[in-house]
Amino acid sequence: MRIYFQNFGFSPIKRKIKKLYLRALEKSGIDFKGFSVNLRMVDATEIQTLNNTFRQIDKPTDVLSFPNFNFVKGQGVSPKEISENISIDDKLAPLGDIAICAAVAKAQAKEYGHSYKREVCFLALHGFLHLLGYDHLTPEDETEMQTLAKEVLEMEKVKR
């Protein structure tokens, strides 16, 4: 798996996020690792524009995901669908894009009483789980998604 980080600068968070993504794939039972993901840190104006454009909610949010495949949580997609979308440049299937708002992440870290690193890792993982087909539209789905995220964060020792 390759993660294309944009606007993260030199950050040890990037190594941790890659480990979280690989662990999430493992815990989800998805063994195909030939994906790429675009992960971008954005400002409040950009996330608000994206949120308004794609969700018709005209306010900033913490994280948005834009999947390229129709994963069914924990099941992946067909090899044919993946092979049809392999990038010629890096020979990887572009799983999707994730945008994280730095300002909202900082505010939430303060509000929840944990580090900025922990919040960014959580948001990056949350966005990635959406790319894998997880969602939180029902209480049951939310519990499942939150439980998986918590397990992955604990396994990779991302502390509160």
Domain boundaries along the sequence of the chain: 2-155
- Record the pTM: 0.89
Q: What's the per-residue H, E or C state across the chain? A: CEEEEECCCCCCHHHHHHHHHHHHHHHHCCCCCCEEEEEEEECHHHHHHHHHHHHCCCCCCCEEEEECCCCECCCECCHHHHHCCCCCCCCCEEEEEEEEEHHHHHHHHHHHCCCHHHHHHHHHHHHHHHHCCCCCCCHHHHHHHHHHHHHHHHHCCCCC
pLDDT at residue 118 in the model: 93
Measure CA 152 to chain center: 13
pLDDT at residue 83 in the model: 62
Q: What angle do CA 31, 33, 36 make, to 5 degrees?
A: 145
pLDDT at residue 10 in the model: 76
pLDDT at residue 76 in the model: 62
Tokens of 144: 């499942």
The CA distance from 160 to 157, in Å, is 9
pLDDT at residue 82 in the model: 67
pLDDT at residue 80 in the model: 61
Choose the CATH number for 2-155 among 1.10.287.620, 3.40.50.300, 3.90.870.30, 3.40.390.30: 3.40.390.30
Residues in the chain with pLDDT < 70?
31-33, 74-88, 159-160
Which residue type sits at 38? N
